[in-house]
Structure 1
Amino acid sequence: MPILSLNGAEIYYEDSAPEQANLPPEQQKPVMLFAHGLLWGTHLYDKQVEHFKPDYRCIAFDFRGQGKSEITKSGYDMDSLADDAIALLEALQIKKCHFVGLSMGGYVAQRVALKRPDLLQSLILLDTAAEAESPEKKAGYEKLLKAIHWLGVKRISKKVMPIMFGETFLNDKSRKQEYKTWLEHLKRNDKKGAARATIGVIERDEVLSRLPQITLPTLIVVGDEDKPTPYEEAQKMHFAISGSKLAVIKHSGHSTPVEQPEQLNEVISTFLTQVIA
């Protein structure tokens, strides 16, 4: 199992082409780094990795406290998680990458872009935001935290699904098995890890005021059924980052890589073609 010790945490990652590291730079594929959302893991991007790996070296990793990474006592604030992502790139000797981040992964991606723009070739922000959590949403997440503490993630997972997925996915009977698969992924979360990661998300500071500093090619994507980070949040980032592109994925909630993988892959592919050109 590929594990790296980074900033006091054992971080799990998956690399579609580790042999690329031994090739001369001019022969190496461009790198895509995938950062998942809260309560998920590398599996969130399975369909993106499958699509892009013929042309890109795809690296996905689990944040501390989630997936197969270590549950540490601290280090769950967004800046510390950004430092973990930077340390991962440095440990793998990745000089440049296209950074893809969804929700929590997007909060982290923005901070990496602000801290170390030299490591990024482009920034791809999925179903995310740049502002601090609103008081209303914070109160809702605090209720979720209490439920996790008293009941565990398994007992409340069905109530979390409508936050993570849009109505189209949830009501599609032909995707019932997919629903069950993702419900099982949620249930596997460790209580302590999930709680600490959630606190990190709801207590994050805003970076919207700093986004004009980002000059990287940037793609911002939002599902038209996304409730946690709706279109208005995507639009704010779009206005703040000069030259950024904004795409809306139809019939998708907060988990576009799962809900509408073909649409998303096409949007990302078009963007990357423009960046490389």
Structure 2
Amino acid sequence: MKKKFLDIGSEKLAYLDIGTSKEVMVLVHGNMSSGIHYKPLIERFKDDYRIIAPDMRGFGDSSYNNRYNDLEELADDLLLLLDKLNIHEYHLAGWSTGGAVALKIAAKRPKEVKNVILIESCSYKGYPVFKKDENGQPIVGSYYATKEELALDPVQVAPMENIFNTGASAYMTAVWDQLIYTVNKPTPEDAELYMSETMKEKCIVDVDWALTRFNMSNDFNGVTKGDGSIKDVVCPVISFWSEKDIVVLEYMVDETVAALNNCKKVKLPNSGHSPLLDQPDLLAKEILEFIK
């Protein structure tokens, strides 16, 4: 699981490059994670596919020389990486925030992406961060107008930025246990590995702001007007949603599935926001059947 590095202009991206098959699978991680978090799928796919699992800008061991406002900027980073690696045909998977990045890549390079695998992906209309009332509860439908305002959010953003800035990994472990590891827990060895990768994140405000602005629909999502690019995703898509996911809600998955012309939804039982950990064998089986 040793990372490689490649310069893409003003940034340097870290990535895993595992396996020697001519069939390539690109794995795009989510927020508070890195390519390393795909370890369960990498172990199951490495003999049949060449796996490319990058750390996006500001995550893991990749650089963060330039701030960003849109997930499309992260998609462009990954396309530069793939171009430099001379990879122009691949299966594309995205977990959580990575699902949004994967959809944008598929829209921009329809002739290169063979299919898209969405794993607990946020909606094609983004992921909202609502303003909070005096009790810290979300005021549904009330959005932050600027990145600076969102950075002060007292529940979802400011506390997380403080955890990263202070290196408070014990608090971050509690966050994962409460929100993500709601069914199974990783082994102590894997938990240490994953948390060390999580705590490398440097861009929490940027990625939260970009998630609220992400919008491939034709509608206004409360923060920004969509660019309509969901229509440019023409490859087959499979979208996984776990019945115990409390981070990405089922309606978010359903609205993306409904917006695509060729999309299959699969519900995973007894699984939370990380089916990579909760249902790795079933997830891998469904992905392989979909691809083949």
Looking at structure 2, the residues matched to 253 and 182 of structure 1 have their Cα atoms a distance apart, in angstroms, of 20
- 2:235 is matched with which residue? 216
* Gap regions ≥5 residues in structure 2: 131-137, 145-149, 219-227
* Gap regions ≥5 residues in structure 1: 21-27
**1:130/1:207 contact within 8 Å kept:** yes
2:291 to 263, 272, 277: 272
- 2:206 is matched with which residue? 196
Looking at structure 2, the residues matched to 29 and 163 of structure 1 have their Cα atoms a distance apart, in angstroms, of 40
Aligned counterparts, 1:1-277, within 5 A:
1-17=3-19, 20=20, 29-75=22-68, 77-128=70-121, 129-134=123-128, 135=130, 136=138, 142=153, 143-152=155-164, 154=168, 156-162=171-177, 164-169=179-184, 177=188, 180-181=191-192, 184-185=195-196, 188-190=199-201, 192-201=202-211, 203-209=212-218, 210=228, 211-273=230-292
Q: Aligned-pair distance for 1:75?
A: 3.1
Task: Compute the RMSD of aligned alpha carbons.
Answer: 2.6
Looking at structure 1, the residues matched to 57 and 8 of structure 2 have their Cα atoms a distance apart, in angstroms, of 10
Q: Which amino acid aligns with 2:88?
A: K
Cα-to-partner distance string for 1:9-34 (whole Å, 9 max, x where unaligned): 110011113xx5xxxxxxx5211000
Q: Aligned-pair distance for 1:66?
A: 0.8
Identical-pair percentage: 24
Question: How many residues are matched?
Answer: 258
Looking at structure 2, the residues matched to 84 and 179 of structure 1 have their Cα atoms a distance apart, in angstroms, of 28
**1:62/1:69 contact within 8 Å kept:** yes
Looking at structure 2, the residues matched to 243 and 228 of structure 1 have their Cα atoms a distance apart, in angstroms, of 25
**2:173/2:195 contact within 8 Å kept:** no
- 2:225 is matched with which residue? none
**1:35/1:60 contact within 8 Å kept:** yes
Q: TM-score, normalised by structure 1?
A: 0.83
Residues 40 and 162 of structure 1, relative CA distance in 2, 3 Å threshold: same
**1:154/1:186 contact within 8 Å kept:** no
Q: Aligned-pair distance for 1:79?
A: 0.7
Residues 145 and 92 of structure 1, relative CA distance in 2, 3 Å threshold: same
Looking at structure 1, the residues matched to 44 and 194 of structure 2 have their Cα atoms a distance apart, in angstroms, of 24
Q: Aligned-pair distance for 1:257?
A: 1.3
Looking at structure 1, the residues matched to 187 and 48 of structure 2 have their Cα atoms a distance apart, in angstroms, of 32
Looking at structure 2, the residues matched to 198 and 154 of structure 1 have their Cα atoms a distance apart, in angstroms, of 20
